[in-house]
Structure 1
Amino acid sequence: MMTKKINFAALLFFIFVFISCQTEQQNWTHFRGSKMNGHANVESAPLHWSDTENVVWKVPVKGLGWSSPVVYDGQVWLTSAEEDGTAFYISCFDFDSGELLVEKTLFNSEEPQRIHPTNSYATPTPCIEKGQVYVHYGSFGTACVDTKNFEVIWKRNDMPCEHMQGPASSPIIYEDKLIVHLEGTEDPYVVALDKTTGEIIWKSVRPKEIYDPLQPVFRKSYQTPIVVNVDGRDLLISNSSFMCFAHDVNTGEVIWTFQYGDDSTVSQPLFYNGLVFINSGWIFEDGKPNFTREFAIDPTGEGDVTETHQIWMYEDEVPQIPTPLIVDGKMYMVHDRGMVTCLDAMTGNVIWKEKLRGNFNSSPIYAGGNIYFINVKGFCTIIKPSDSFQKVAENDISETVKAVPVFVGDKMLLRSEKNLILIQ
């Protein structure tokens, strides 16, 4: 009898694991994936396509947005906006057919802030969980929508931010919280909202004694944070402009800071093998943005850890916009102008470098055993993670792409300037 109970318990465990794995393969909940590490939990992924070959469906998207899609229970959600910033939309499509299920205007603006010519008014990627999708358009508004009846659960547009170049930081879900960054040229801050009501749980404004003396242009930031567990405590890693903050994610308390200086962080932090990896944004020389630095940090410290917890620093063709990717101990990063560098993640030593064609905004994604690099013109180079550059395939969708590709099941979902495309 005892053996039967053990076998039954084991069977239930394996069923639970199997269902969990299947669920992960069918969903994509945040910017750069459900674990926000750029890894797609799929066994296979498309290797060959064009603007007509292996396209399951292709549907137009209203307005303009550089946000990436999110997927849950067969629904694809994404945001867009009018090019002049006067209206902000959310759309839901059926994953299998591409059918438009709903399209809603969530916010309007009579006098929108200006944005950078390369940005859009809908660049932050939504985040999603069972029953709710959360969208964020910076100071223009944040909302929660019911994914079953498509009704707005809550929304608010009372969190100010002088973005200067438009919003770009994506929201993330952590337990009962929705965490959003509103870091502009005046009083940059991060806020944790109650995800069920939209009410503020905590708010942390960047220290005025440090940020007020900076030029306004050096206060803005466009990064998306991550949450990591360090010695039993969950920390929000927020690499803001000028310096990185590690907050207690439950209270907003600043646990440690790391200073790197200067302007406009965009790239998302990474966490691997006990280390946090952060991007500095532009480092200025002679009054001009010159280069970007990548840092590896031991996250176990407290207070100002700039001089005590840096493990390594690298500054040769580090990307300003695309987020690096770590696979099997190697960091792969593509510079905005196309140079791919492979580093040893634990030492920062260069393993190889290779130039790809075109310019890049989209971050690389690891799917089905390969790494996908998609440039701004929609040309994709697929490589095998390795100690040397090993090209697997090249494909061209012939459309402008700045969003991150999404991998669900054995298919790839790609958002271009005007369309949403499912590739097999």
Structure 2
Amino acid sequence: MFLNNRDLLISLYLAVTVCGCSRVDPVEEIRSLPAATKAETALEVDLQTDWPWWRGPNQDGHSLSSELPTSWSADENVVWSVAVPGRGHSSPCVVSNRLFLTTADEVAHRQIILCYDQGTGQQLWAAPAHEGKFMQQHSKNSQASATPACDGKHVFALFLNAGGLWATATDLTGQILWQTEAGPFGSEHGYGSSPTIYKSLLIVLGDNLTGSFIAALDRQTGRIVWRITRPTTGQHGSFATPVIANIAGRDQLLVTGMKKTSSYDPTSGKLLWSCDGPSEVTANTVAWGDGLVFASGGYPEKQLLAIRADGSGNITHSHIAWEARKGTAYVPSPVFHGGKLFVISDDGIATCFDAANGRMLHKVRIGGNFSASPILANGFLYVVDEQGTTVVIRAEESLEIVARNELGNGGMASLTICNSRIYVRASDRLYCIAHQPD
């Protein structure tokens, strides 16, 4: 642990203790000045080989790796494995030779950012972000469920702590550079959204019971550049992760939840369009392709929407290309590929849709229960079930199951696949999988 951060952590702990865990603060909107987000801070990541944030380099669940095994076990194609302290459901992010992960010590009540050598699995450092003031969570959630992001110079992590959503930035040695409360957050189920990077901004979603918001922070300083409110139903929070897609000729910040699918200008937070549905609560990430945004939910409704992304304002009655009530997913994210939409349901059914018209082409029961999202790599879908078995499915209409790979100790985190390696976070271990010589 980094004792040089001790004074910072004590000050932070005392500050948030005053607020308590059950506070209900109004969310104040912050509007950016025209020049506030003009300067683009270059990303020092390799989008061909790195996996710098949730859902990969293009935020669409696609990996560019081609030399990958489809089968492995504890004794086959394992480059290394290492015990991970604490508990968490975040996926690793990988930049250059470093792998970053978050975890929580549920006994000592610490939320921690971890760094490993991605080649050997050696732990390089552990940076404590918060101590005490854990919040209530769902039994399937954790106190470290948001996947970190890295811009090549900084590591960004999100934690729910002391009634607020906190963003923490470290340098690549684990030194904490800044911590900012993006906004108050109240939820009976905890937090699960991951941060998104856009130009000079770190964008975070705070859909919750007391006042939903999206906030954009300056990556260098942690200053809130803009923050806008979102609909709050008062019944449930939501757990989707926003993503940036260049679609319909413009960059769009896309997010579902609170009974809407919404698109924002990521520079300013201005609402571009919104569409009712798919459900009040979503816990996944949209897919997109061929001018359409694909949104799946959820709870209490089950619905899959395909929305044309070139509208403005409320487009509920004008831009829904198709919808489906079967073949939906609540937590796993859909994947678009080659004119098809692939969905893995929470209860283990894989479905292939014609993405243009919504026609169900095929479905296969693969078994198991799923909270992780599938990753597309080298023509296959890789997805791990809650028992720790990774199912490999051919990403074609046939949905052929080509392998089941058991590591056997739980799998709530989505896979990370980059640079010809597959990183599997199990309940208490991290595995690196790759082709190994005979």
1:220-278 residue CA offsets vs partner (Å, 9 max, x unmatched): 11101112234543221121221122111111111211112653211101110111111
Other-structure match for 1:256? 273
2:235 partner amino acid: V
Match of residue 267, structure 1, among 284, 291, 311: 284
Alpha-carbon distance between aligned partners in 2 of 1:66 and 1:269, rounded to the nearest angstrom: 19
5+ unaligned residues in a row in structure 2: which ranges? 1-42
Match of residue 121, structure 1, among 133, 140, 143: 143
2:310 is aligned with 1:300: yes
Following superposition, the deviation at residue 141 of structure 1 comes to 2.1
Other-structure match for 2:85? 62
Following superposition, the deviation at residue 25 of structure 1 comes to 4.0
More off after superposition, 175-184 vs 242-251: 242-251
Other-structure match for 2:337? 327
2:240 partner amino acid: Q
Q: Match of 2:235, SS? A: helix
Contact (CA 8 Å) 1:91, 1:103: kept in 2 or not?
Answer: yes
Other-structure match for 1:180? 204
- Relative to structure 1, the CA distance from residue 168 to residue 394 in structure 2 (aligned partners, 3 Å threshold; closer, same or farther) is same
2:244 partner amino acid: V
Pairs within 5 Å for 1:352-391 = 352-391=362-401
Contact (CA 8 Å) 1:298, 1:310: kept in 2 or not?
Answer: yes
1:364-408 residue CA offsets vs partner (Å, 9 max, x unmatched): 111122111211111122122222132222211112011111112
Contact (CA 8 Å) 1:30, 1:128: kept in 2 or not?
Answer: yes
1:140-190 residue CA offsets vs partner (Å, 9 max, x unmatched): 52111111x321121124621002200100001000000001111011111
- Relative to structure 1, the CA distance from residue 250 to residue 23 in structure 2 (aligned partners, 3 Å threshold; closer, same or farther) is closer
2:149 is aligned with 1:132: no
Other-structure match for 2:116? 93
Match of residue 299, structure 2, among 250, 274, 282: 282
Alpha-carbon distance between aligned partners in 2 of 1:108 and 1:158, rounded to the nearest angstrom: 18
More off after superposition, 195-204 vs 377-386: 377-386
Q: Match of 2:432, SS? A: strand
Contact (CA 8 Å) 2:297, 2:328: kept in 1 or not?
Answer: no
2:247 is aligned with 1:247: no
Other-structure match for 1:44? 67
Q: Percent identity?
A: 29
Other-structure match for 1:411? 421
Contact (CA 8 Å) 1:44, 1:369: kept in 2 or not?
Answer: no
Alpha-carbon distance between aligned partners in 2 of 1:358 and 1:53, rounded to the nearest angstrom: 23
1:164 partner amino acid: E
Contact (CA 8 Å) 2:299, 2:330: kept in 1 or not?
Answer: yes
- Relative to structure 1, the CA distance from residue 77 to residue 242 in structure 2 (aligned partners, 3 Å threshold; closer, same or farther) is same
Other-structure match for 1:105? 128
1:11-64 residue CA offsets vs partner (Å, 9 max, x unmatched): xxxxxxxxx9x9434310111111111111112212221123221111111111
- Relative to structure 1, the CA distance from residue 381 to residue 262 in structure 2 (aligned partners, 3 Å threshold; closer, same or farther) is closer
Contact (CA 8 Å) 1:156, 1:198: kept in 2 or not?
Answer: yes
Contact (CA 8 Å) 2:293, 2:307: kept in 1 or not?
Answer: yes
Q: Match of 2:383, SS? A: strand
1:96-145 residue CA offsets vs partner (Å, 9 max, x unmatched): 111110011111223x2210011001101111121111111133521111
TM, length-normalised to structure 1:
0.88
RMSD over aligned CA atoms reads: 1.8
- The alignment of Structure 1 onto Structure 2 pairs a total of residues equal to 388
Large movers: runs of 4+ above 6 Å: none
Contact (CA 8 Å) 1:44, 1:367: kept in 2 or not?
Answer: no
Alpha-carbon distance between aligned partners in 2 of 1:261 and 1:278, rounded to the nearest angstrom: 7
Contact (CA 8 Å) 1:26, 1:74: kept in 2 or not?
Answer: no
Contact (CA 8 Å) 1:120, 1:166: kept in 2 or not?
Answer: yes
Contact (CA 8 Å) 1:332, 1:342: kept in 2 or not?
Answer: yes
Contact (CA 8 Å) 2:66, 2:377: kept in 1 or not?
Answer: yes
Other-structure match for 1:12? none
Alpha-carbon distance between aligned partners in 2 of 1:329 and 1:182, rounded to the nearest angstrom: 32
Alpha-carbon distance between aligned partners in 2 of 1:403 and 1:393, rounded to the nearest angstrom: 19
Other-structure match for 1:11? none
2:244 is aligned with 1:222: no
Alpha-carbon distance between aligned partners in 2 of 1:241 and 1:249, rounded to the nearest angstrom: 19
Contact (CA 8 Å) 1:124, 1:136: kept in 2 or not?
Answer: yes
1:60-85 residue CA offsets vs partner (Å, 9 max, x unmatched): 11111000000001100000112368
Alpha-carbon distance between aligned partners in 2 of 1:32 and 1:226, rounded to the nearest angstrom: 9
TM, length-normalised to structure 2:
0.85
2:216 is aligned with 1:192: yes
1:180 partner amino acid: V
Contact (CA 8 Å) 1:412, 1:423: kept in 2 or not?
Answer: yes
Contact (CA 8 Å) 1:107, 1:140: kept in 2 or not?
Answer: no
